Amino acid sequence: MSDTVTITNEDGVAVIVLDNPPVNALGHALRAPLFAALEAAKADEAVQGIVIACAGRTFVAGADISEFGKPPLEPSLPDLIALLESIEKPTVAAIHGTALGGGLELALGCHYRVADRAAMIGLPEVNLGLIPGAGGTVRLPRLVGPEAALGIIVSGKPVGMEKAQALGAVDAVADGDLRAAAMAFLRAKIAEDGPHRHIRARDEKLAVDLDAFEAAVADATKKARGLTAPLTAAEAVRNAITMAFDDALARERELFLERRDSLESAAQRHLFFATREATKVPGIARDTQARPIEKAAVIGAGTMGAGIAMALANGGIEVRLLELNAEALERGLGQIDKTYAGSVKRGSIDAAEKEARLARISGTTDYAALSDCDIAIEAVFEDMGVKHKVFGALDKVMKPGAILASNTSYLDLDEIAASTGRPQDVVGLHFFSPAHVMRLLEIVRGDHTAPEVLASALALARRIGKVPVVVGVCNGFVGNRMLAARREENESLLLSGATPEQVDRVFADFGWPMGPFAMVDLAGLDISWKHRQSLGLTAPVADALCEAGHFGQKAGRGFYLYEDGSRTPKPDPFVAELIERKADELGIERRTVGAEEITERTLYPMINEGARIVEEGIAARASDVDVVWVNGYGFPVAKGGPMFWAEHFGIGRIVDRLEHWYGETGKEVFKPAPLLRQLALTGGGFADLA
């Protein structure tokens, strides 16, 4: 056979084993020899049944995503499954690890499925902007019923064996030797002498109430958030009910190819690989030994500290939460209890899980109680003097080798590290609020941060379900530095002639969850006002709103009006008049401002700053910037991140418009980064820089 597929005959049972690390992705290297093995087993009269199993840590985890966008190589996965489905001898898939996408579709081409109890199965193609393209939307509804199949396919979420067996997706669950269990199952089927019915012949579960199905479609797709694939997936499942098998299969393939060739899917596939690439840190060997983290101290029980404590406890880590006084500590612990109670109420965790997580979090006001912790994460007031005091105290009590981390969102980590005798153990862990929810974690690498400390931070991120990006030291690191560039022109746009609702509408049309003015109303205008004052900066309109006590939603008015405690923003005549007055005072002739101008004066400066961040080495690669913005700031997934979007929109066009606004305003934020100019000249993309 080949080194990726072996076939042995064990007393009349052909055992085909796939071995294509790391996840047995069904690339051409696997499909061709598997096709040959199946043909051989089908033709061999000495073979009475077939087991398909995988070596390594998992059954097939899908088609090889890296093959999309390249010329397809025969045999295709549908060809492979069609061959499998033409075999009358009983066939069994022995599933362990995660049988996902094309992996589950391969298993659905078998008569039977036997799975290890810890296995998961799923059709996560929508996460890549795709739909199942090898029969998943036609076979799974026949196996588990259209509504259950719809939930699995449209959500893209895997299911465990308890649910899978209850649905009939697997025929048996093994607790011991999976291979042996699959062989025993198959021999029993051989002894029964059939009939062995392929899923294509089983359509009894398709007789459903179409109104109920459409209600399920509406429910399943309501969270599609501007993404096309979930809607297309629902259409394909509907076809499984309303069309003949082969017609539904053919239509599924057409719909799959449409999705595969879409920019939306290219964006989501880009993010799949970019997220993984971000964990590869230049200069840090992938086998660098991480230090174990089982006990963590969190300094500060405010919103961020409490959120970080929950994020750690949710990952099974024991947390010691330190506050200066008992009253502040109680407030923090109370906030944590309340948040978990909310999760129980929403059904995201049960009461037992809430208790288990709470039991991992204890409070203290004594630094000495932190001495046995493996890491301390500081989340105190964003003031360098306070940071120095906290790190000085930690340096005294933390055991040798403990990691000292700061949650600072923009302060100089090297200056913080200098307040300790162990700068090599200092790292930044910039969580995003709410810290127990937002997935992004900016890991800030100081000048002296040791490789194993970075490796420990990456391992911690993985353990607590965060998406890590290693960033360099600068004001605002990657995300906040680009956010500052994106918001720099907000006031000028208003003074030029735009209204808050116009700007926010342009952002909403682009796919942002919220525009900048609605966002600052939510966060509170006073927060950014204090920050501006600390930097000696002014913003004529926002400052005037703050002086009038219009702090945003919490005050019932900010850039918008929020009547009777509602959170729905309404245009506020007070703001319109204020903008007119301020423009007049500044001698600005207001004019019509179009949507394109709003984009050019907000999104383009942000992309420009991203290019500077890459050329300065603050981010190792442009795709890291995409990972930051999609996971920390709601950049629309369908657009792949600011740098991916810029490439596909046209870097040359962006540079031209930056030049224009630089000429108009003389503002640094518009001065094209040398890297952008270079790419505009060469027509290259950021990936060419790697």
**Does 124 contact ligand T1G by CB under 6 A?**
yes
| Measured torsion, CA atoms of residues 528, 531, 535, 541, in degrees rounded to the nearest 10 | 20
In whole angstroms, what is the distance from residue 394 CA to residue 376 CA? 8
User: Shortest gap between Cβ of 444 and ligand T1G (angstroms)?
Assistant: 22
What is the phi/psi pair of residue 201, to 5°?
-95, 0
Q: How far is the CB of 151 from ligand T1G (least distance, A)?
A: 17
Taking phi over 0 as left and psi of -120 to 50 as alpha, with beta for the rest, 19 belongs to beta
Question: Using CB under 6 A, which of 99, 100, 216, 622 touches ligand T1G?
Answer: 100
CB of 476 to ligand T1G, least distance (A): 28
Please state the closest distance from residue 114 (CB atom) to ligand T1G, in A.
Answer: 20
Size of the site for ligand T1G (CB under 6 A): 25
Residue 201 has a CB neighbour count (10 Å cut-off) of 11
CA dist., res. 548 & res. 458, Å (int): 45
Q: Concatenated DSSP letters for 605-664?
A: HHHHHHHHHHHTTSBSSHHHHHHHHHHHS---GGGT-HHHHHHHH-HHHHHHHHHHHHHH
Q: Binding of ligand T1G at residue 624 (CB under 6 A)?
A: no
513 SS3 class: coil
> Which of positions 25-54 make contact with ligand T1G (CB under 6 A)?
25
> Considering only 121-129, 142-150, 327-335, 465-473, which stretch makes contact with ligand T1G by CB under 6 A?
121-129
130 vs 169 by CB, closer to ligand T1G: 130
Residue 236, Cβ density class (10 Å: 0-12 exposed, 13-18 middle, ≥19 buried) = buried
- Helical axes 263-277 vs 229-242, angle rounded to 10°: 120
Binding flag, residue 399, ligand T1G (CB under 6 A): no
Whole-angstrom Cα distance, residue 483 to residue 485? Answer: 5
Kindly tell me which of 127 and 409 has the beta carbon lying closer to ligand T1G.
127
Look up 415 and say whether it is catalytic. no
Pick from 592, 561, 556: nearest CA to 578: 561
Q: Return the closest-CA partner of residue 91 out of 53, 132, 58.
A: 53
Q: What is the largest CA-CA distance in the chain?
A: 93
Q: Taking the complex as a whole, how short is the minimal distance between the CB of residue 58 and ligand T1G, in angstroms?
A: 6
If binding is defined by CB under 6 A, does position 116 make contact with ligand T1G? Answer: no
The single residue of 125, 147, 442, 647 carrying the catalytic annotation is 125
Characterise 556 by phi-psi region: left (phi > 0), alpha (psi -120 to 50), beta (else): left
Q: What is the DSSP letter of 689?
A: G
Which one-letter amino acid corresponds to residue 64? D
**Nearest distance from C-beta of residue 75 to ligand T1G, angstroms:** 13
Q: Which residue is associated with the tokens 């978990």?
A: 340
The interface region with ligand T1G, picked from 60-68, 427-435, 496-504, 511-519 by CB under 6 A, is 60-68
**Alpha carbon distance 677, 212 (integer Å):** 55
Q: By CB under 6 A, tell whether 90 contacts ligand T1G.
A: no
Q: Which of residues 132-161 bind ligand T1G (CB under 6 A)?
A: 132-134, 136
Out of 15, 61, 144, 461, point to the residue binding ligand T1G (CB under 6 A).
61
Strands 361-364 and 159-160, by their bridges, are unpaired
| Tokens 């319109």 found at | 576
Q: Map residue 147 onto helix, strand or coil.
A: helix
> Contact 271/435 with Cβ under 8 angstroms?
no
Handedness of CA 125, 256, 112, 50 (dihedral sign): negative
Q: Which is nearer to ligand T1G, 120 or 370 (CB)?
A: 120
Q: Which stretch binds ligand T1G (CB under 6 A): 128-136, 228-236, 547-555, 579-587?
A: 128-136
Smallest distance, ligand T1G to C-beta of residue 213, A: 22
One-letter identity of residue 57: R
Binding region for ligand T1G (CB under 6 A) out of 129-137, 364-372, 555-563, 638-646: 129-137
Asked if 625 and 613 count as a contact pair (C-beta separation under 8 A), the reply is yes
For strand 440-444 and strand 426-431, is the pairing parallel, antiparallel, or unpaired? antiparallel
Interface region with ligand T1G, contact rule CB under 6 A, candidates 95-103, 224-232, 595-603, 654-662? 95-103
22 binds ligand T1G per the rule CB under 6 A: yes
Single out the residue of 5, 63, 248, 575 in contact with ligand T1G (rule: CB under 6 A): 63
**Among 225, 276, 396, 399, interactor with ligand T1G by CB under 6 A:** 276
Nearest to ligand T1G of 60, 628 (CB atom): 60
Residue span binding ligand T1G (CB under 6 A) among the ranges 40-48, 59-67, 301-309, 493-501 = 59-67
Output the smallest distance, CB 29 to ligand T1G, in A: 12
Give least dist CB 457 to ligand T1G, A: 17
Choose between 64 and 501: whose C-beta lies nearer to ligand T1G: 64
Q: Among residues 277 and 412, whose Cβ is nearest to ligand T1G?
A: 277
Site string for ligand T1G, 236-275 (x = CB under 6 A): -------------------------------------x--
Q: Is the peptide bond before 434 cis (omega within 30 degrees of 0)?
A: yes
Q: Which amino acid is at 447?
A: D
Of residues 430-469, those binding ligand T1G (CB under 6 A): none
Contact residues for 324 (Cβ-Cβ < 8 A; gap 6+):
365
Binds ligand T1G by CB under 6 A, chosen from 5, 14, 23, 542: 23
77 contacts ligand T1G (rule: CB under 6 A) = yes
Residue 318 bears catalytic tag: no
Q: Which stretch binds ligand T1G (CB under 6 A): 34-42, 101-109, 570-578, 587-595?
A: 101-109
**In the complex, what is the shortest distance from the CB of residue 53 to ligand T1G, in angstroms, rounded to a whole number?**
17
Exposed / middle / buried, residue 205 (Cβ in 10 Å: 0-12, 13-18, 19+): middle
Contact 656, 596 (CB under 8 A): no
Asked whether position 363 contacts ligand T1G by CB under 6 A, the answer is no
Instruction: Name which position in 85, 116, 125, 504 contacts ligand T1G (CB under 6 A).
Output: 125
The single residue of 10, 74, 85, 105 carrying the catalytic annotation is: 105
- Residues labelled catalytic: 105, 125
- Kindly list the residues in this chain that would bind ligand T1G in the complex (CB under 6 A): 22-23, 25, 61-66, 77, 98, 100-102, 105, 124-125, 128, 130, 132-134, 136, 273, 276
